[in-house]
Structure 1
Amino acid sequence: MNPYAVLASAAAEWDALEPRLAPDARAELAALLGRMREPGPGAADRAALAGRAAEVLAAQLPDRFGPGRLAPAPPGPDVTHLGFRADDLAVLLLDGHRMAGPVLGAVRDRLLAEPALDADTVRRAGGDPYAAGLIRLRGAGGRLLLPAFQFSEGALPWLTVLEVNAVLGADGDPWGAADWWLGENAWLAAAPARLLGTADERRLPATARHLIEGE
């Protein structure tokens, strides 16, 4: 059995399966997935880690992942189950958000493809990557990323960004806030982030409030 198929299947059913894991097994699974996402391991090492993670799941959940419980899957790490990938399990278990699977995973990938600054870059520029009101996303390996549109010069955030992020509740829902900024907005006829520094910037707080009050 391809161990990546086991991990993808676990991701697809995570809400039902997670409560059934013993704490020590959950901790071991988290450690294995964390090592898989580190930049150092090669393909063979990642496969070995995936194999051990699959063994942990099979031992804890034999009715779901025991011998003969999964249909054969093609080899390699790119196998999916109901649109979920093995990497999605790491997102669900380690990253503290639910941007995984065929719909939200695609949104996550799109947002992470946008220009961003890591925490060290913000610090070197004299900023605080953990300042209130900034959008912080978790990228590959759990790396902290701050979408670059938030900063006007160096690590200086736009005041409008901080105002709008407070309206959008970016501290609690950074992915939703990032999607609002970077997605096309019918009211503005543009992605809001593109209006920063223009005459239309003043429209952004009211547009965000309209979104929240209309929910």
Structure 2
Amino acid sequence: MNPERLLGLVGEHRDSIREALDGEQYALLLARLGALVEAEEADLKAVRRALQGVRLVLVPLPLDHPVRMALDSVRLAGPAIGPATMAHARALLVRLSEPPPVPETAAIIRAVQARLLAEPALNRPVVHARCHSSGLDEPPPELIRLDDVERGDRYPAFQFAGAAGGPIPVVLRVNRILLAGIDPWGAADWWLSGNVWLGGKPAALLGELPDEQLVGAATALVEGD
């Protein structure tokens, strides 16, 4: 597992991490992420040291926690570390620094997640098979993967071509812009909700609108235009 995937897991399980760690441990996690963000990208030794600090502060998580189970497989050397890792770290630090949602907000979030999980989706074995048939060793990290406590990983079906095709390239481009690895629910909501600028749900407009128009809409959202 590369560092980006670890950071993505931390983002996906932010709430359970906040509950599992005590106040001091959570503050230390934020501090270690801050050190990672401040590290010079070209100084790989410093970046690896900062990533190791993030990894170590997550060790107190329960052994059956998804992030804790992934720690031993994280590779902190070589090409596994790059600009995307630092971008994920910056986005993750912002997200983890947000205050926990109030009950009313939590209820809204659960409703949105339930709506997104009701959309057509593929499970992990099917996604792996489709990726292999498309010449990919494993599902690209840009794919939106939603965590369903009852059914396991769910990959929204709009991300794949036809009835048996692999990932759609423009979807991966847009997901990268939306930082789907950090906020898969937000990325899924963008694709599966009405978009005034595009005139409909982006997922329903795949193949109908030029790819660059979809990319432009996502970029405008991220950049605040």
Coarse TM-score class (shorter-chain normalised): 0.5 to 0.7
1:122 counterpart (103, 108, 127): 127
Within 5 A, what are the aligned runs for 1:67-146?
A: 101-127=106-132, 130-141=139-150, 143-146=152-155
Instruction: Give the match for residue 51 of structure 2.
Output: none
Matches within 5 A, 1:180-199: 180-199=190-209
Q: Tell me the number of residue pairs that the alignment of Structure 1 and Structure 2 aligns.
A: 139
Distance 1:143 1:186, change over 3 A: same
Post-superposition Cα deviations, 1:50-70, rounded to whole Å, max 9, x if no partner, equal xxxxxxxxxxxxxxxxxxxxx
C-alpha deviation, 1:102, in angstroms: 0.9
Against the structure 1 CA distance between its residues 194 and 16, is the aligned structure 2 distance closer, same or farther, given a 3 Å change threshold? closer
- Are 2:22 and 1:19 equivalent residues in the alignment? yes
Name 1:164's counterpart in structure 2.
174
Could you tell me how far 1:205 is from its partner in structure 2?
Answer: 0.2
- State the structure with bigger RCO (CA 8 A, min sep 6), 1 or 2: 2
After TM superposition, the score normalised by the length of structure 1 is: 0.53
- 1:204 partnered with 2:209: no
1:96-149 deviation per Cα after TM superposition (whole angstroms, max 9, x unaligned): xxxx83110001100000000001111233446631210001013360110000
TM-score (norm. length: structure 2): 0.51
Shift of 1:157: 1.2
Quote the sequence identity (%).
38
Q: Which runs of 5+ in 2 are unaligned?
A: 1-14, 24-60, 66-102
Bigger mean CA offset, 142-151 vs 194-203: 194-203
RMSD: 3.6
